[in-house]
Structure 1
Amino acid sequence: MERYRRLSREAVAGLPGRSVVYDRERLDVWGAAPGEARPVFVFLHGGYWMALSRHESAFMARSLSDQGVATVVPDYTLAPAATLEEIVRQVRASIAWIHREGRAHGLDPGRIVVGGSSAGGHLTGMLMVDGWQREFGVPDDAVKAAMPFSGLFDIRPITRTYVNDTIGLDLARAAALSPALLPAGRRFPAVVVVAEHDGPGFAEQSRRFRAHWGPAADLMVVPDRDHFDVVLDLAAPGSAVSRALVRLIRSV
């Protein structure tokens, strides 16, 4: 966790940035300035929905800025202060904020790519599925591409773990909040990333979600990485993960 925070501090040092309020929460915008219209990568942090923040989650901002891409890192209210339904609602509201207000901050609302790690991968999946956009006043294609890392896409097993002592799900709610069980009619490009040394459950969930998403998705297994460090490859411009993200962004 300290490495996430240190690399994030180093990445944003000297970058143009601002913190803004959206839906009573905050998000940081890095690597863009008013008058620009940069494509935007929205990164959703992990921590089993109950830890971490935007302050540990901007480690890719400099490498993306060097490629002409802005980074947006939203906070969301952590459990147990918020239900998982409310956390999902907040991250969807962050996309609505970018779509509505982003141009004034140098962001192109027509080129939004989302990603996140672990629980943030789950939240990424909840931005990929159909059916939520109308409530937030955004078009069905507001999100153009996605890169979830080591995501939780069927969260019903969470009901049998210590995490549920904080999250408090039952099976019906868990199913309703599982991207792998929800409609995926508009399948846009996605790269589903998992580490070679990830836990077997995370690896299996990633394989199944790639299959659920269909031929629009690729599965990327990153060698010599584990659940916690695979996402840090986004901070290394020459890494396969970083190159894949830039290709994904440029494809939209």
Structure 2
Amino acid sequence: MSSARLDLKNLRKSFGHTHVLADINLSVQPGEFVSILGPSGAGKSTILQLLTGAIAPDGGQMLLDDQPLTPAQHRFAFMPQGDALMPWRRIIDNATLGLEVQGLGRQAARSRVIPLFEEFGLAGFENHYPAQLSGGMRQRAALLRTVVQQRPMLLLDEPFGALDALTRAQMQRWLADMWTRHRWTVLLITHDVREAMLLSDRIYVLSARPACVAHHFQVPLDHPRHSVGSPELAALEARILQTLLNPED
């Protein structure tokens, strides 16, 4: 998977009289894991909708490797909230769906996907239906469907938000290990401060809407991180929570 650098400059978006995003400025470097935190309704998911071309900005710039991003480019692999697996398709057919939409033939798509089932912990479940899998396995299948598209950047919109606490913690560790191995370029939307600290190189915290970047944090620890219990991360967590609660300070 090739990587790319993303730059958002003074990005603005309103829906009617509701101003959602005001002058969003952020960047994601190749091979970097970046998270966006913010209060509910701040426009975190709106940023991903703008990047995928589902909606258009009112102003500002979206640049990929210094070139203006257009909807026709389809440069991102997007994983929405929840797994969005089609219940009538077997797991292997769910995993190949993005490739088939791109125009790849069924057999060619399967040939690209099948070697990844073991790495994603899904070997032996290729012909199962989503209802036959645990929540964590469904999320791994959804992520497999996302990364196999080999886009320059992954956009993850609260991928573990619907899971129970134990499964969510297991999936966070699994994703941390997978990212360390593959060094995908990732932009993650999350409400979970500890999830952001466990996974991210950098964290952007948005203000309430109309949202701008209230603060930008570097996470000062090497990957992989299987614990956020160190004094350094405890102090960082406190600073992030303080920013979320009092973004104007």
Same fold by TM-score, threshold 0.5 exceeded?
Answer: no
Instruction: Choose 1 or 2 for highest CA Rg.
Output: 2
What is the TM-score when the length of structure 1 is the normalising length?
0.30
What is the TM-score when the length of structure 2 is the normalising length?
0.30
